[in-house]
Each structure stands twice: as structure tokens, then as C-alpha cells.
Amino acid sequence: MNTTQYLEANNQRFLDELLDLLRIPSVSADSARNEDTFRCAEAVKSALLAAGCTHAEICKTKGHPIVYAERMVDPKLPTVLTYGHYDVQPPDPLDLWTSGPFDPVVRDGKIYARGACDDKGQVMMHVKALECMVQTQSLPCNVKFMIEGEEEVGSSNLGKFLKANKDKLKADIVLVSDTSMISMEHPSIETGLRGLAYMEVELTGPNRDLHSGVYGGAVANPITILAKMIASLHDKQNRVKVRGFYRDVVDLSPAERKALNDAPFDEAAYKKDLDVDALWGEEGYTTLERTGVRPTLELNGIWGGYTGEGAKTVLPSKAYAKISMRLVPNQDSRKIARQFTKHFERLAPPGVRVKVTELHGGEPVVTPTDGKAYQAAAKAIETTFGKKPIPTRGGGSIPIVALFEKVLGLKTVLMGFGLDSDNIHSPNEHYGLLNYYKGIETIPHFYKNYAANH
């Protein structure tokens, strides 16, 4: 029996085991879910042992634990380190879900649940692919797994773990399935991730909330001031006006730009899917460039004053916003955070005080397309999808990937099977059954190609 036949013979159980994992609400941002998150780490550990790992452990951190597991075949053979995360984003707003976020159901060929695609579904593909290889005696190299529980909150303890466990994590390549493809008809491999600098700003006007009639018109309203400051962060061309923001950006060569824009992209379908009548972005760049290779500044949240039912006449003491910047090579998240802080503090007029805090950051990465690992992934996808994958640049961030290179000296292959339309971080997140099974089918081919060519 080969791995594909083993998958076919076990496909219902493979699905049921993913659904079990999806029932655990491992929301890393929500401390009320800490026990569930821990329970999820234990479930991942058990799944890895059941799949054929000979050793698995839960590694405690200051935050949520990391699951480490391995199956060493022969020290002379190469070692693949698979990384993923078992934590998920908060499910709210709950009322927009058709079925419960932690009550997974299969509808129209898709698994609906928080984490279905990001990243439990994609982690489980690797667990089940290992089982397929072990059970058919075809695992061609050593495997290590590092599945963390804090990706969605910035992986702040994982860097330390890498530094402290260089020997344990010794490998030849890192394999990650936590990104997306263009479509099932146009399989693709992301060859870059953007970095991130995530900031929170707080504006304080008067020392207490005031009656907006008694004081209004005479005292700076922090919400008004914040709105003006935020509005000034982009210019007419929708470029980011933070001083120095673009200084370190390396522009793509004309050939690279052309290659990027050769990827299939249907602007009309994109707009229709999002229900917008126009797109928005930095002038002079296409949508694929705006999301893949240009840095951006986005408002993630803004609040202050009265937001409850009905009306309350108040001139609030405080106003807040969460602002994140996506970064591209060779921008540095700490430097950008400092530049932003300086810029934002300078924007504030007399009458308000401003406090800027950096919540977390991560560096951008570009992964090579000429290495053995990329070639092994491309060939694996070509085998199972019947088409050569297109290299693309992803807009999302996985901050730890830059540290794999910096701390462990390891390159990464981003062999993701999600789709942009899977609603990750949003209500009704889902993952195609086909994507799940294709992933399980493809991963063993990656191993075979990679080990053969090592």
C-alpha cells in the first residue's frame, strides 16, 4: 500500500480527528481559555505520538506551551522540522457565524470552524501525512515537529525557545503549512512573508470625561484629534507618511515585478467577493504588489467615548487606536516602531498627551526558489495537482520564520494549502475537504523528493 492508498482507506477517521481538535477553543489571546489552550497542546502531542513520533513533549514557556515531537530514522538522513500553531484567533463576532466556531461541521465540502484552515487543519495534514508514511514504511528521513500556541499573539516566547534549544531543533529545512494558494486550479507557493510592527496609541485630553455641552467647544476632544492624526498618516497617493517609512524598502527589479504580476488575478471577482465597488491602495502599484511587496499601515481598531446604546453627551478624556504596519525586505520592525512613535508623538497638538506602545513585531522574509526544498515542494504539488505551482508573495506574517534563519540558520518552505477566501481570522472560517486531503497526499511527496535529492 502507498501513502495515497492509506489515506483513502482512512479518510473518514482523518477528518474525525481534525474535527476533534477543532472542538478545543484554544484562543491564545483570551486568558479565560488558558486551560483549553493547554488541553489543545496535549491533544496535539497525543496525535503526534499516535501518528508515529517516538518522542513527544510539552515544553512550558512563560505563555502557552510548545509541542515538540520527533521520529529519528537515521542520523545520516536529512531532518525536516515542521512548524505550525495550534492556537487560534478569537471567534468574535459570534453572531455572524452560521454554526458554532468550536462546533465544527462539514457543509458544501468545507469544514467550518475557527482554526479549520489557520492552522489546525494544516497542522493535522502533517500529522496524518506522517501516519501515512510510517504505516506504509515509506518515511524517507528524520522528522521533527514544533507546534506552538502563541503564533496568533506574536510568538513572543518562541524566539527564546529557539535560542535555548538549538541542538534539539537541529534540522536541514523548516516546512510550514500556514499560508495560502491562489486556487485549486492555480496551485502556488508563497515565497515571502511580510513583517509586522503592531502599535497601540492612547490620547488623553482632559483628566476626566466632561459634559459635552458645558465644556464642548473649549477643550480638545481626544477623539477628534486622534481622527485627524490618523487621517494624516496617508497622503493623497495613499502612501504612508510616517517619516522614514520607505527608506529601507528594496524595490523589485522590473523582471521580478513582471513575474509577480504574471500570477492569475481577477480584479472583478476580487471586488465582487468583497462587495466593494473600487479597490484602494498605494498609487502606482497593482493589487498583487500592494499586498505582496509593498509596506502598509492599517488601522485595526479605534475606540473611545460612549459606544453603548442610545446617546450620551460626553467629551471623553481618552481615545485609542490599534495600528499595525506590514513590512517588506529590508525594513526592520524595531526601527519602524521607533519611527512611528516619534512621528505620532510629533503629530499631537497642544491640549492632548499621547502614549504609543509597541505590542509586538516581526521581520519580513523571502524564501529561496532555487533550493532543493522549494524544488521538492514544487515537484510534490505538480504530482498531486497536475500543475507546476506559481511562486507568489504573501501578504501575511509569521514572525518566527525570520528567526529560523537568524537563530537556527535554517531556510523555510511555505507549502500552504489554504485559500484567501477561507475567512481566516473572520466569522465562518473554513477549510476545503479537498485542500485537507490534497495536503495529506502532497506532503509525503515532498519528503520523498527532498530526501532523494539531498
Judged by the rule CB under 5 A, the positions of this chain that interact with Mn ion are 118-119, 178
Report whether 43 contacts 120 (CB < 8 A): no
* Distance from C-alpha of 169 to C-alpha of 172, rounded to nearest angstrom: 10
Q: How far is CA 147 from the centre of its chain?
A: 14
Q: Which residues pair with 396 in a beta bridge?
A: none
* Distance from C-alpha of 52 to C-alpha of 72, rounded to nearest angstrom: 10
Instruction: Output the smallest distance, CB 405 to ligand BES, in A.
Output: 17
Which of Mn ion, ligand BES, none is residue 422 near (CB under 5 to 8 Å by kind)? none
DSSP calls for 398-412: -THHHHHHHHH---E
Give the HSE-up count for residue 200: Cα atoms under 13 Å, Cβ half-sphere. Answer: 7
| Closer to Mn ion by Cβ: residue 178 or 422 | 178
Which of Mn ion, ligand BES, none is residue 179 near (CB under 5 to 8 Å by kind)? ligand BES
Instruction: Output the smallest distance, CB 102 to ligand BES, in A.
Output: 18
Q: Which amino acid is at 432?
A: G
The candidate with the shortest Cα–Cα distance to 332, out of 413, 250, 443, 231, is 250
| Closer to ligand BES by Cβ: residue 179 or 384 | 179
* Distance from C-alpha of 326 to C-alpha of 333, rounded to nearest angstrom: 9
Q: Which amino acid is at 342?
A: K
| Closer to Mn ion by Cβ: residue 71 or 126 | 126
Catalytic residue among 87, 119, 131, 148: 87
Catalytic residue among 118, 150, 151, 363: 151
Instruction: Output the smallest distance, CB 417 to ligand BES, in A.
Output: 11
Instruction: Output the smallest distance, CB 333 to ligand BES, in A.
Output: 10
Which of ligand BES, Mn ion, none is residue 131 near (CB under 5 to 8 Å by kind)? none
Residues 6+ away with beta carbon under 8 Å from 384: 438, 441, 442, 445
Which of Mn ion, ligand BES, none is residue 149 near (CB under 5 to 8 Å by kind)? none
| Closer to Mn ion by Cβ: residue 118 or 131 | 118
Is 87 among the catalytic positions? yes
| Closer to ligand BES by Cβ: residue 397 or 423 | 397
Q: How far is CA 157 from the centre of its chain?
A: 16
| Closer to ligand BES by Cβ: residue 121 or 316 | 121
Instruction: Output the smallest distance, CB 364 to Mn ion, in A.
Output: 16
Instruction: Output the smallest distance, CB 425 to ligand BES, in A.
Output: 6
DSSP calls for 353-402: EEEEEEEEEE--EE--SSSHHHHHHHHHHHHHHSSPPEEE--S---THHH
Give contact residues for ligand BES (rule: CB under 6 A): 118-119, 151-152, 154, 178-180, 196, 362, 394, 396-399
Which of ligand BES, Mn ion, none is residue 154 near (CB under 5 to 8 Å by kind)? ligand BES
Instruction: Output the smallest distance, CB 178 to Mn ion, in A.
Output: 4
| Closer to Mn ion by Cβ: residue 102 or 344 | 102
Task: Give every strand in the sheet of 142-148, ordered side by side.
Answer: 55-59, 66-71, 142-148, 79-85, 173-176, 412-414, 188-190, 390-392
CA torsion sign, 130 to 135 to 140 to 142? positive
The candidate with the shortest Cα–Cα distance to 40, out of 20, 57, 62, 60, is 20
Report whether 331 contacts 325 (CB < 8 A): no
Residues 6+ away with beta carbon under 8 Å from 415: 175, 176, 177, 189, 377, 380, 381, 442, 443, 446
Give the HSE-up count for residue 354: Cα atoms under 13 Å, Cβ half-sphere. Answer: 23
Which of Mn ion, ligand BES, none is residue 180 near (CB under 5 to 8 Å by kind)? ligand BES
Which of Mn ion, ligand BES, none is residue 196 near (CB under 5 to 8 Å by kind)? ligand BES
| Closer to Mn ion by Cβ: residue 221 or 324 | 324
CA torsion sign, 83 to 125 to 188 to 327? negative
Q: Which residue is nearest to ligand BES, using beta carbons?
A: 396
Instruction: Output the smallest distance, CB 284 to ligand BES, in A.
Output: 24
| Catalytic site positions | 87, 151
